[in-house]
Every structure is written in structure tokens, then in C-alpha cells.
Amino acid sequence: MEGNEAREVEAILEVVSKKIPGVFSALRDVVYSQEAAHDLGRSAATFFRELKEGGMNEEQAFELTRDYLASIKNMGNMNLRNEKNQEDR
């Protein structure tokens, strides 16, 4: 890579590294807001109801709904870890 290209890439990466923590903060605020909690509760209830209406018994529907919520929680935790790593740099 030529010197000029390397400086351009460095400048781009510097801007991106400054912007990423703000993006993660905004995502966290969206995911963990009161409105998001309300929407998540409705989503989980709908998911559970649809499974039951689709023929699953209560225990099966509960297990899958618990897994569904755990996967959403894991995505949120992943975002928080990424944000923390960005702040530590």
C-alpha cells in the first residue's frame, strides 16, 4: 500500500473507531428502553401463543419461548461487551 493510501485508511479507521461506541450506545438505548421492554414482552407472548396455536403443548412452547428470549438477551450482551471493549481502547 502506498503512503498516501495508508494515511487515508488510517484516517478512515480513526473516524470509524470514534463513531462505533456511539452506535453501540444508541443500540443499547433502543434495546433497553421502557418501550423496548414492552415490545419484547408482547413479542414473547405472541411467540408463545403462536406456538401453542400451532399445536405445541405448554411445556414445549415455554421452552422455545425461553430460548427465544435467551437469544435476544445474548445479542444484547454481545453488544454491551463490544461497547465496553471500544471504551477500553
DSSP assignments along 51-75, one per residue: HHHTT--HHHHHHHHHHHHHHHHHH
Reply yes or no on whether the pLDDT at 75 is more than 60: yes
User: Which residues, other chains included, contact 27 with Cβ-Cβ below 8 Å and sequence gap of 6+?
Assistant: 79
Give the mean model confidence (pLDDT) for residues 49-74: 93
Mean pLDDT value of segment 9-14: 85
| Count: domains in the chain | 1
In this prediction, residue 9 carries a pLDDT of 87
Domain span including residue 19 = 3-88
80 pLDDT band, cuts 50/70/90, is low
pLDDT at 82: 61
